[in-house]
Structures are given as C-alpha cells and as structure tokens.
C-alpha cells in the first residue's frame, strides 16, 4: 500500500509553511492531487502522494522547491477584478503623473506576479491611456515565488484560453500577435518589464522604493504574524505618496495600525503619507 494523504499532507503543509509562509488548511488536502498530480506523472510517480512520499525520504532540495512552487501557484488573469484597474486609470496614475511630471519617473511593483498578466495589464494601461509616459523612466517589476511562473512571464506567450480571461479586444489587437496557437505580447511592452523570483517571507525585497505596489491576493495565504511581517516590509518600500493595492477580500485592519484604508468608487486603496 502506497503513501496516504493522511501521512503525506502534514509533511507537505510544514514544508510549504517553512519555505513560503503559506498556510495550508486541513481541508485543503484535495490540493495534493489537484496541484501535484501533473508534476508526479512528469517525474514518473503514479500519484501526488507517491511523489510526497519520495520527498519525505529524500534530501533533494530541488524537488522540495518544486513541491512548494506547485502549492504556491496562484490564480491570475488580465485586469483581474477590474475595479483596481479602473482606480489606477481614474485616480492613481493621473495623480502620480501630475505629481511626478518633473522627474518623469514611475516605479511599480507587482509583488506576486505569477505568469505576468497583472504587470502586463498595468503596462498596457499606462501605454494605452497615458501615452505621455512613453518616454518616462518606467520601472515595472514583477516578482513571484515560482521560477516556472517567472519564466513564462518573461516569455510573454499565452494560450487562447488565458487570453480570453479578462483581456479587452482593443488591447489584444494593439499589443499581441499570434504565434501559432498562442499569443505573444509586443516586444516593446516586454522590454519595459523585468521579472524575477522572490520569496516575500524570506528574501530581501527589490532595491529602491516604489510609487505603486500591487500585493493582491497574497495575504490570504499567510497566518497573522506573517501577514504583519510582509505588510510592514512592503509598506517600507513605498515612496511618500505611493499607493498600495491589496486583493478585494484583504485588509490591513488588525494587522497594521498605520496603514489606513481609503475608499474610492467601491475600491479600497492605501496611500503612504509623509513619514508614516
């Protein structure tokens, strides 16, 4: 009889927490096969549990890394949730562009960029609606725990199914070209972005400070102490006057007394004032 979920899941849960800070609940045992089944078959194991059983008896660091990446891979789409991008178009970017018109620099960080749709959505929004920034010094950074996701983000190639998830037709026509059955984002936008792997819990954060940080749908995976740690670190990377956007179900309440929510058109954002 092979390994069971009851014996394998506690090991996986501890491994994921130690490596990424992500907390897997007991009722998420179903993720063993849902997330690890494909990797297991790729590596020659009959099931996710068999793969975990092998990892439990092995000291293979690269295999443990792949397990954590599979479990940490998040959902993503173009212009996800829509409202935050409307906020960027109607409030955040007009204010930032006006305030920074002299130094003509903008720094934006997508802190859990997955396969790149979020940061590319921001890049398209800036290019399409704010062409005056075309010759600005734009720093568009995307980071994610998963090396596989970052590799795909750098390539900028997406399937037809991925393209149908939230991308307006006008932007598809403007910024993509067919590559067989897939779609390649324009070289101009791809060259404006920089993607790299980063563990928000354990690694040093990117250098410099930012005018806009997207930390969307990340905190929901952490326990309270880790949420506080990550929020404090991220807030320290914002310029004065900079904006922080979280996921629609996330909040700083009870986690950071100095990071106060602001409401605008049904969307919550956080802006760093003075020397907070």
> Which structural domains are found in the chain, ordered by start?
5-72 (1.10.155), 83-271 (3.40.50.150)
Buried b / exposed e along 223-240 (16+ C-beta atoms within 10 A)? eeebbbebbeebbebbbe
Choose the weakest-confidence range: 40-49, 161-170, 181-190, 231-240. 161-170
Q: What is the pTM of this model?
A: 0.80
Retrieve residue 67's tokens. Answer: 């397990």
Q: In this structure, what is the dihedral angle of CA atoms 89, 94, 95, 100, given to the nearest 10 degrees?
A: 130
pLDDT of the residue at 64: 81
- With cut-offs at 50, 70 and 90, classify the pLDDT of residue 276: very low
CA–CA dist 212, 185 (Å, integer): 23
CA–CA dist 214, 84 (Å, integer): 10
Phi and psi, residue 39, nearest 5° = -60, -40
Retrieve residue 137's tokens. Answer: 């010094």
Retrieve residue 218's tokens. Answer: 């990340």
pLDDT, one tens digit per residue, over 166-176 is 778 788 889 99
The number of residues in the chain equals 276
């Amino acid at each position: 009889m092979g390994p069971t979920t009851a014996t394998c899941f506690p090991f996986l849960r501890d491994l994921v927490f130690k490596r990424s800070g992500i907390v897997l609940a007991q009722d998420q045992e179903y993720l063993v096969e849902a997330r690890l089944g494909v990797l297991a078959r790729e590596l020659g194991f009959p099931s996710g549990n068999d793969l975990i059983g092998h990892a439990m008896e092995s000291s293979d660091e690269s295999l443990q890394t792949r397990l954590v990446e599979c479990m940490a891979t998040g959902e993503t789409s173009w212009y996800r949730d829509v409202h935050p991008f409307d906020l960027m178009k109607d409030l955040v970017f007009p204010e930032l562009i006006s305030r920074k018109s002299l130094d003509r620099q903008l720094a934006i960080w997508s802190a859990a960029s997955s396969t790149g749709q979020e940061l590319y959505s921001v890049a398209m929004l800036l290019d399409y609606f704010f062409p005056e920034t075309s010759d600005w010094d734009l720093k568009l950074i995307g980071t994610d725990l998963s090396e596989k996701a970052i590799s795909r983000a750098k390539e900028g190639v997406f399937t037809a199914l991925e393209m149908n998830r939230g991308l307006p037709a006008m932007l598809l026509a403007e910024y993509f070209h067919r590559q067989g059955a897939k779609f390649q984002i324009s070289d101009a936008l791809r060259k404006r972005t920089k993607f790299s792997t980063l563990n928000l819990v354990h690694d040093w954060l990117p250098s410099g400070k930012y005018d806009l940080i997207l930390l969307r749908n990340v905190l929901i995976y952490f326990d309270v102490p880790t949420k506080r740690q990550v929020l404090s670190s991220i807030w320290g990377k914002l310029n004065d006057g900079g904006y922080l956007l979280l996921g629609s179900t996330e909040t700083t309440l009870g986690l950071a007394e100095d990071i106060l929510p602001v409401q605008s058109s049904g969307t919550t954002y956080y802006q760093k004032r003075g020397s907070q």
